[in-house]
Amino acid sequence: MEPFNEEDIKMYFYENRLKTFEGWPFDEGCACTPENMAKAGFIHTPSENNPDIAMCFFCLKELEGWEPEDDPEKEHLSHSSSCHFITLKKKIEELTVEEFFKLQKERHKNIIIKTGNDAITKFKEAAKLRRAEII
């Protein structure tokens, strides 16, 4: 894991997050437009079966099942109130270098926690299958 991967750093900027919303199923007349989703820190991460999956690039919280009236910022806060990005009081462009480094450190903590949790889940599933085979 590279601390300052260029692709990851790009997602701090609204315009780059907005570009990921190609094919987003909600547009005009909705609260969860691509613009509002990107402002709330989300990137579009669709799957074949779920075209409306969005993930915060920072805290890695994935949300799906969006409704036209869902407010992305409120949804983000309600599902991940400790996300340092959604609670920022400044624009990214206004951060000092020290503030940005601290923010990036928190993002890496999120990545490590998610990676660890994913590995534990896979291990538990494999152990459950193996146990069933043994029994």
Question: What residues does each domain of the chain span?
Answer: 6-134
pTM value is 0.82
Within 8 A by CB and 6+ apart from 73, the residues are 36, 39, 40, 86
Residue 46: what pLDDT?
93
Over residues 101-111, the pLDDT tens digits come to: 999 999 999 99
User: For 29-85, what is each residue's pLDDT tens digit?
Assistant: 899 999 999 999 999 999 888 889 999 999 999 999 999 999 999 999 999 999 999
Check residue 67 and give its pLDDT.
94
Class of domain 6-134: mainly alpha
Q: Are 32 and 68 contacting, i.e. CB atoms less than 8 angstroms apart? A: yes
The residues facing 47 across adjacent strands are none
- 2-6, 11-15, 26-30, 52-56: lowest mean pLDDT where? 2-6
Q: Virtual CA dihedral for 65, 50, 47, 14, nearest 10 degrees? A: -40
